[in-house]
Amino acid sequence: VALAVVLVLAAGGVLAYRHIQGNVQRHNITSFLGGDRPAGAAAPIDPKAGQALNFLVLGSDSRAGANNDNSGISGMRADTTMLVHVAADRSRLEVVSIPRDTLLDIPACTLPGGTQTRAERGAMVNSAFSIGGQTGDVGAAAACSIRTVEKLTGIYVDDFVVVDFAGFTRVVDALGGVPMDVPQAIDDKEADVKLAAGCQVLNGHDALGFARVRKSVGNGSDISRIGRQQDLVAAIAREALGKNLLTNPPALYRFLDATTKTLVTGPEIGQLSTMAGLANSLRRIAPENIVFTTMPFESVGPRVRPAPAAAEVWAALRADKPIPGAVTAEGTAPAASAQATAGTSGGRSHASATPAGAAATAAPGAAASPAPVCRK
C-alpha cells in the first residue's frame, strides 16, 4: 500500500490522493496510552530522520459488520500480534510474532470517557485488545495492546495498524491472489476453507482460511499456525513488491482504493504523506532483509509464556541491531539452510527467523528446509 502511494504522489494524482486518504480510518490514541511509557521519539514519524521505527500490527477477529460469519461470537480480540521493527538506516525490516496464547501482565488501560480498566496478571496477550475495545473503539483496543507490548518488551511503539477479516481478504484480492505452497491438504469447516496440497494461487477467502485454520492441521494449537501465517505474509510481501503497478495506473488506483479501506491506524502512519515517505526510504529493501521470527516461549500447560531468550530479541530491537537468526533457550541456532518455525519440544523454548524470500513451515521445535516459493 505504501509503495503504491508513492506512485500516486509521483503522478500528481491530487484527487485520487484525497479520495484514498479519506478511506483510511485514523485514531489519535494519545489520551489512552498515558505517560508511563518506555523512552522513545514521540514526535511525528519522520522516515528520513534516521530513527528506528516500531509498529504493532494487529489482526482483529471482530465479527462486526462485513466480518459477520454467523458464528455468534461477539467482541474483538487480536488473534494475530506482530511487532514490526524498521531499522534506522532502512536496510532491514524485522517482524516478531507474539503468540496469542502468551500469558503476561496487562496494565490498566484507559477507555473512551476516561474510565480505567483493572490491571490483569497472567492474562493472554490477545485479551488486551478485547479489554481496550470493550466499548467498540478500535483505537482504544490498539492502545491497550500497545501498552501491554511495551510493558513486555521495553520498546516504544510508534504506531499501529489493525486489519480485520474483511480487510485481509480485500488486500489479497486486490493483488489478484497470492501464490502459496500448501504443505498438506486442508478441509476445515470452522475456518471455511478446503485446499489441495501443493502450489496454488489463493484468493482472499482462501488465504484468510489458510491463515486462520488451526484445529484440523498440525497439533491444533495457535502456535502451529504462526508459521503458516508468517509464510503467507511473506508471500504477500513478495507479490506486492513484484507488482509493476507503475505501468498500469487503473490497476494501481483500484489496488489503493480497495486496500486503504481496510486500514485502521494511528494518526501518523495513516497519513499518506508519512506512508509515502517511509515507503520511499524502504524502496530498495531486499526481500531477504525482511525477516520473520517468533518470540521465544515456554509451554505452560495449553498456554505459553516468554522464555528468558525473549529478552535477547527485545534487547536487539531496542539497540536497532539484527535479531539473532535463531534464538533458543539452549543458546543454539540451526544451520542457515534449516530454518524452523518457533515451537516447543520437551519443555524447551525455540524461536527462529524466516526470511521473506525463503519462508519455512515446520512442526513445533523441528528444523526444516525453506518451503518452496510459488510463482503465478
Distance, in Å, from the CA atom of 200 to the CA atom of 69, rounded to the nearest integer, reads 25
Q: Are residues 180 and 306 in the same domain?
A: no
Is residue 339 in a domain? Answer: no
Cross-strand partners of 78: 60
Q: Are residues 222 and 328 in the same domain?
A: no
Q: For residue 55, which of 212, 222, 332, 278 has the smallest C-alpha distance?
A: 278
* CATH for 187: 3.40.630.190
Alpha carbon separation from 39 to 75, 107, 156, 191 (Å, rounded): 32, 17, 6, 41
Distance, in Å, from the CA atom of 224 to the CA atom of 326, rounded to the nearest integer, reads 18
Cell 517468533 locates to: 294
pLDDT in the model for residue 245:
54
Mean pLDDT score, 314-318? 95
**Which 3-state string (H, E, C) describes 184-240?**
CCEEECCCCEEECCEEEEECHHHHHHHHHCCCCCCCCCHHHHHHHHHHHHHHHHHHH
Last residue of a domain, one of 261, 287, 320: 261
Q: Are residues 203 and 298 in the same domain?
A: no
Minimum mean pLDDT range among 139-143, 170-174, 232-236, 237-241 = 237-241
Is residue 126 in a domain? Answer: yes
pLDDT in the model for residue 150:
97
The domain tally of the chain equals 2
Q: Are residues 308 and 275 in the same domain?
A: yes
Is residue 147 in a domain? Answer: yes
Q: Are residues 146 and 176 in the same domain?
A: no
Instruction: Give the domain extent around 223.
Output: 165-261
Cross-strand partners of 81: 58
Residue by residue, DSSP assigns 335-364 as: -TT------EETTEEB--EEEGGG----ST
- Answer yes or no: are the C-beta atoms of 124 and 102 closer than 8 Å: yes
- How would you classify the pairing of strands 78-86 and 159-163? unpaired
- Chain center to CA of 2: 15
What sign for the dihedral angle of Cα 207, 169, 257, 74? Answer: negative
pLDDT tens digits for range 180-230: 999 889 999 888 899 999 999 999 999 999 988 887 876 667 777 888 888
Q: Are residues 60 and 128 in the same domain?
A: yes
Q: Are residues 60 and 184 in the same domain?
A: no
pLDDT in the model for residue 2:
59
Q: Are residues 56 and 142 in the same domain?
A: yes
Is residue 337 in a domain? Answer: no
Q: Are residues 105 and 178 in the same domain?
A: no
Q: Are residues 142 and 181 in the same domain?
A: no
Is residue 26 in a domain? Answer: no
Last residue of a domain, one of 332, 356, 371: 332
Last residue of a domain, one of 261, 277, 304: 261
Is residue 186 in a domain? Answer: yes
Is residue 120 in a domain? Answer: yes
Q: Are residues 158 and 169 in the same domain?
A: no
* CATH for 303: 3.30.420.590
pLDDT tens digits for range 74-112: 556 678 899 999 999 988 888 899 998 899 999 999 999
Is residue 327 in a domain? Answer: yes
Radius of gyration, alpha carbons of the chain? 19
Q: Are residues 79 and 188 in the same domain?
A: no
Q: What are phi and psi of 351, to 5 degrees?
A: -155, 145
Share of the chain above pLDDT 90, in %: 32
Please give the sequence-ordered ranges of beta strands (E in DSSP) within 230-366, or none if there are none: 264-265, 290-294, 297-300, 303-306, 344-345, 348-349, 353-355
